[in-house]
A and B are shown apart, each in its own frame.
Chain A
Amino acid sequence: MLHLFRRSLLSMIGLILILFIIFIAIFAPYLAIQHPTYVEVSTEQGTRRIEERWDINFQDKFIPPNSEHYFGTDDFGRDIYSMVIYGTQISLKICLMVVFSATIIGIILGGIAGYFGGKIDEILMRVTDVFLSIPYLILAIAVAAALGRSIENIMMALVLVWWPQYARLLRGQVLSIRENQYVEAARSIGANNWRILFRHVIPNSFAPLLVQITLDLGAVLLVAAGLSFIGLGAPPGTAEWGLMISSGRMHMFHSWWYATFPGLAIVITVLGFNLLGDGIRDITDPKLRR
């Protein structure tokens, strides 16, 4: 498998980008110059930590990128480079949690529907039809607006929007896999439904599921950033990329760096997931390997 990966330059680039982003997320405290939400101030009384760094330091606001502030500073004098660095943690957390939860729900419901068929299948597929008949960004906006502004809430909204795709994907897989002879063989030696589902069907659906998961990690990040951009999601002052672009937008014409760098961070991360997902698809789907 690895040699196939090596042959595809683009998927290697994707893998490297994602490893790079994960590295930044883990080592953010060492890479950042300042913490995005608090600062330690030395006074005559000693050092104290001031929470919410964003309402101080007005004299440093809107500094263009230089050797001290690589990506410049924002309207509160915060270092944008540090915020972008810390932003990787929030973004990866959102993507992973959302896609992971949606996958679990999808596996369970799709697996049951495909395997047992009949009424359950019919009902579940109609439910997913309805979910998929509303544009997903708009559905996510409505749910997030109903839940109220917070990162946890956009995660919940995105899970609600995303699970039907996985349910359908897994159902389709189950329907094709359960016709295989090895499933029949397993049944003939007395394996029960659950064992067949978890030992045969799900492991054999792994490849298309993995492709979908990788591509969706990027897609979820884009939608989450969009929600933050219009004021759902991260509360003001959070080092979240979509929110930073939203705040930077007001200052675009005099401080281009404010919205530009968080956006680049999104592009790099999503690009990484997409290249990686494409690569995995090419490797696991022999029809495309020509």
Chain B
Amino acid sequence: MKTWEYIVRRLLLLIPVLIGVTIITFVISHVIPADPAIAFAGGPKAQPETIERIREELHLNEPLLVQYFYYLNDLLHLNFGKSYLESRPVLESITQYFPATFELTIFAMLISVPLGILGGIISAIRRNKLSDHITRIIAILGYSMPIFWLALMLQYLLAYQFPILPLEGRLSIGLIAPQSITGLYVIDSILTGNINTLSASLYHLILPSFTLGFATMALLLRMTRSSMLEVMGMDYVRTARAKGLSERVVIMKHALRNALIPTITVSGLQFGALLGGAVLTESIFNWPGMGRFAANAVMGLDFNSVMGFTIIVAIIYVIANLIVDLLYAVIDPRVKLGGE
């Protein structure tokens, strides 16, 4: 199969998945609540007139199938309803908050992927030695810790007791955000040549992105370690050693390259976990991203925003996975040939 054929096939497969996602979100928002009108109106304390109005607006008196088509029609017109907390369309809020979340998840990846892979290699090479045990303990703690608790502890220790890092937010108080080009403060600061906002935004990113990436780092460390150990037992590694190649070459060229394939796949998939983790991390570090927006919406019973956030994130995640898969097929030809 040619690469473009594979790409077209994957794009076509996207359609049923996206339809499936809308069915799930439709069921969650229109079938699961005891009374969807009350849920959308902001809970049982809402005014009866508001509830009635919403019942009309969302066609909740119609049969479910009809409701679903109204719902799908709204989604196709990018109409995700109005956020009651922010009194503006949900899409507008999410578009505004998205760059902050994107910047945070990118930095979480930049921290966790290299650290995880490096830790995994060290652990595998020095198997059952002290450094192996230490890295493994860090890894297992990494995915045993509630992310919001880790965030609180780090914030308390490193921003309050020993104030070496900023407590919260994206920039220091008093600094004006760089002119918005991409919405990512670091990139915008570089583009506009603003050293002050560049250093401040990097400084503010350290704690939240480390917290967010910690579990991913732990997972990647563990995966790299086990796949390194597996690969190092393979015949071709033994052959490479028998040829008299140095241990360095054997590990870097023969073992690592093959061991990294599963790790790279998983790193791509971790994007979804990071988006989920962002809801918790952002609300602690007061990071003005869509995760904090979602957490506030949950607390404020702003059901429309919660559902809008869910479907937008699901779409982003589906597309991100598709991109990862496509890149992967380009890198590793075996995927599109034998994977089907």
The answer on A and B forming one complex is: yes
Contact B314 A138 (CB under 8 A): yes
Contact of A229 among B17, B148, B229 (CB under 8 A): B148
Pick the most buried of B160, B229, B276: most chain A CB atoms within 10 A of its CB: B276
Q: Tell whether A129 is near chain B: CB-to-CB under 8 Å.
A: yes
Q: Using known A-B contacts A142-B307, A148-B34, A253-B160, determine if residue A226 contacts B146 with beta carbons closer than 8 Å.
A: yes
Contacts of A260 in B (CB 8 A): 153
The A interface, classified by DSSP as helix, strand, loop or mixed, is helix
Closest A residue to B275 by beta carbon equals A135
The B interface, classified by DSSP as helix, strand, loop or mixed, is helix
Pick the most buried of B32, B146, B321: most chain A CB atoms within 10 A of its CB: B146
Q: How far is the CA of A148 from the CA of B149 in the complex (A)?
A: 24
With an 8 Å Cβ cutoff, the count of chain A residues facing the other chain is: 46
Taking CB atoms and an 8 Å cut-off, the chain B residues in 215-252 that contact chain A are 226, 229, 233
Contact B275 A138 (CB under 8 A): yes
Contact B148 A245 (CB under 8 A): yes
Contact of B149 among A138, A145, A146, A245 (CB under 8 A): A245
Q: Using known A-B contacts A218-B144, A252-B156, determine if residue A263 contacts B149 with beta carbons closer than 8 Å.
A: yes
Q: Tell whether B131 is near chain A: CB-to-CB under 8 Å.
A: no
Contact A138 B144 (CB under 8 A): no
With an 8 Å Cβ cutoff, the count of chain B residues facing the other chain is: 53
Contact A230 B146 (CB under 8 A): no
B147 to chain A, nearest CB (A): 7
Q: Using known A-B contacts A138-B313, A145-B303, A259-B152, determine if residue A230 contacts B17 with beta carbons closer than 8 Å.
A: no
Q: Tell whether B310 is near chain A: CB-to-CB under 8 Å.
A: yes
Contacts of B16 in A (CB 8 A): 126
Contact of A253 among B156, B313, B317 (CB under 8 A): B156
Q: Using known A-B contacts A146-B33, A230-B279, A263-B146, determine if residue A135 contacts B141 with beta carbons closer than 8 Å.
A: no
Closest A residue to B301 by beta carbon equals A145
List of 8 A-B pairs having minimum Cβ-Cβ separation, nearest first = A137-B276, A130-B20, A263-B149, A135-B272, A271-B144, A270-B144, A142-B310, A146-B32
Q: What is B's interface to A at a CB cutoff of 8 Å?
A: 16-17, 20-21, 23-25, 28-29, 32-34, 39, 140-141, 143-149, 152-153, 155-156, 160, 226, 229, 233, 272-273, 275-277, 279-280, 283-284, 294-295, 298-299, 303, 306-307, 309-310, 313-314, 317-318, 321
> Can you spell out 15 A-B residue pairs with CB atoms less than 8 angstroms apart?
A129-B20, A130-B23, A134-B310, A137-B276, A138-B279, A138-B309, A146-B303, A148-B34, A226-B146, A226-B147, A229-B148, A232-B298, A252-B156, A256-B156, A263-B153
